[in-house]
Structure 1
């Protein structure tokens, strides 16, 4: 493993902070600063040896590295380069969430150490155990395309979600959020974020906030809500077994159908209008269950009333439009110059709003 290549206006990894100031003060700060990181690894008991690293994952927000030293392999997860809102990319909280749900039996990597000090690598971060497995997004890994594997894999993802939503809200898990008023807070918070995130007018995004608030379902019960539950955030040990659920930054306590709506909204299906949230394009191929199949399996496993699920799909797509607009605005402002995802959001955000409006129309006319 080696350092990532330099970009024209900065590097991703440096050996030491710049003279006279921390790495975070650079015009384009690095993502890893090796000397202070190695001292931190010493302090938390990672054996001595030559440090090697590589960037892993396909996340558009937070950054993940595999580290190897002294015969051990761990994963470092940190937020992106600043600036970003103070409440965003809270890796200390995410580590607390992962530890809490792990204790409750949810398949997650074990947390090894947490660093709240941004003086080490330029942002707070945490270390977790490396989990071996496969992530499914654009293609099926070797050994995952046997007879029936496509349906088995998707069913395993739905079953893992049902199991997550069955976790008792007690102990450390009970402290992860305030479930009362979850849906109202989601609509209100993202409606407030839109004018802060955008540099342009997309009237449909604003009108959707009013329609979502006016048609909000009552909600059935409270559960741990992952907030970003999709195939690309699952590590599979085999087609029928989820080894780990990843990326817990958005997790809280709330309405579990928000997770199911997000899973359906990010699950690519043949014939559906493309959006930037088609995050598992492989599932548009033959042999994969339909979106309706996902919903039916979840309902059978949990007993949930899924009549209002199109509203939750609309919520997921509308929220996605708003946080994608933040990425697009940061790119316009020159803060994400090497981002090849953000330019497509010029059209992608309006497409997400249209998809949300279509899902909400289904809800309003009582159609799944």
Structure 2
């Protein structure tokens, strides 16, 4: 990261003044940028003996729902007293004179985020089983929140949510195709989009949804018995009121079974949950159904929708690469990876990639 980019990200002196005003003076202050995020920016802040996190949009981005950190603050604040584990939100600021954007401050949690591999202490079958159970139980807890009771009754418009998802991601894809079709066509995605439009479920439960719920957006820590306990859910910027089955389908699109074919995007696919002890997707679905009282009807639709969304994201990345708007080495790979995702979506639709 260039020094210039960091300076656009945070004015350390102005942030210190703000924290001093609200949290009191301290002797020890440090700021460090978290490198793993791909959307909103995350800064780790040491403030005396407290470890804090500051979340803000990327500099230069126009405000939209994908970077609405105050929305993220609102939902985590609403969930603080529920069964959903979230970091404790502390402050929210819409004064752009402080660091140049909206931002919020929360407590930093301690634990492990499972990305490329599992921690050694969680490598036994019992721990692996618990990782999957905790993941799906927490998703069920999100879907069980009484959103009116916690003040989120106006947080979204659940009727028609799933149909709007199909339309929105189709529009994103068409935006990308305006440029990428000069390089190659992905005709399968037209077929997938048409099938999704024709097969949108007529109705669905109305719940709080996370919008990007997957293994690397949660944190685990060892409980008193040394088993993994899910201690925090992060990245709530896409949260709204909508269809819980879309959340489940998204989570499942990232979860690997030992019977699965080779991943279509190996560079971005975590495969350690194929190991002994991890629950299969079918087990996760059964557990979610028993926890929520909902049934995972239309599973091919929701799983295909998730892969369609991944393909649309990849195609947008490819357009940005072609236009010279990114130096991310992953983006040019999307020339081949997006057609592979489209083929996967068709396999799900055709019943060739079952739960």
TM-score between both structures, scaled by the size of structure 2: 0.87
In 2, Cα distance between equivalents of 1:294 and 1:130: 29
Q: Are the aligned partners of 1:150 and 1:287 in contact in 2 as well (CA < 8 Å)?
A: yes
Q: Corresponding residue for 1:18?
A: none
- Measured after TM superposition, the shift of residue 122 of structure 1 is 3.5
How far does the alpha carbon of each residue in 1:126-179 deviate from its partner, in whole angstroms, 9 at most, with x for none? 111111111112211132123411111111111111111111131312221111
Question: For the aligned residues, what is the CA RMSD?
Answer: 2.4
Cross-structure match for 1:215: 199
For structure 2, the residue ranges without an aligned partner over 5 or more in a row are none
State the Cα distance separating 1:215 from its structure 2 match. 0.9
The answer for the alignment partner of 1:193 in structure 2 is: 172
Bigger Cα displacement from structure 2, 75-84 vs 259-268: 75-84
What is the aligned counterpart of 2:105 among 115, 121, 127?
Answer: 127
Which of 175-184 and 78-87 deviates more?
A: 78-87
Q: 1:180 to 1:241 in 2, by over 3 A?
A: same
The answer (yes or no) to whether the contact 1:155–1:294 under 8 Å persists in 2 is yes
Q: Which residue of 2 aligns with 1:347?
A: 336
Alignment-derived partner of residue 178 in structure 1: 157
Work out which structure has the larger RCO, using CA pairs closer than 8 Å and 6 or more positions apart in sequence. 2
Relative to structure 1, is the Cα distance of residues 114 and 141 closer, same or farther in structure 2, using a 3 angstrom cutoff?
A: same
| Cα displacement (A) at 1:46 | 5.3
Aligned partners of 1:46 and 1:70 also within 8 Å:
no
Q: Which residue in the other structure is 1:23 paired with?
A: none
| 1:247 maps onto 2:241 in alignment | no
Give the secondary structure class of the aligned counterpart of 1:58: coil
**Partner secondary structure for residue 146 of structure 2:** coil
CA contact (8 A) 1:79 1:91 kept: yes
Describe the shift of the 1:92–1:327 C-alpha distance in structure 2 as closer, same or farther (beyond 3 A): farther
Mapped partners of 2:22, 2:255: distance in 1: 39
1:250-307 superposed Cα distances (whole Å, 9 cap, x missing partner): 1111111111101110113333341349543321333322222211221232232224
Match of 1:3 in 2: none
In 2: Cα distance, 1:183 partner to 1:268 partner: 24
Partner of 1:154: 132
What is the distance in 2 between the residues matched to 1:45 and 1:71? 12
CA pair 325-77 structure 1, distance change in 2 beyond 3 A: farther
Report the Cα distance in structure 2 between the residues aligned to 1:247 and 1:76, rounded to whole angstroms.
12
Q: Displacement of 1:311 after TM fit? A: 0.9
Q: Provide the C-alpha distance between the structure 2 equivalents of 1:236 and 1:62, rounded to a whole number of angstroms.
A: 21
Alpha-carbon distance in 2 for matches of 1:178, 1:50: 45
Corresponding position of 1:257: 245
TM-score scaled to structure 1, two decimals?
0.85
Q: Give 2:289's aligned residue.
A: 299
5 Å-filtered alignment, 1:15-30, equals: 30=8
Distance 1:357 1:138 in 2: 27
Structure 2: distance between partners of 1:350 and 1:44: 51
Shift of 1:40: 2.1
Deviation readout 1:228-253 (Å, 9 max, x if unpaired): 11111111123442111111011111
Cα distance in 2 for partners of 1:85, 1:126 equals 15
Contact kept, 8 Å, 2:180 with 2:319, in 1: the verdict is no
Instruction: Report SS of the residue matched to 1:126.
Output: strand
Matched, 1:274 2:263: yes
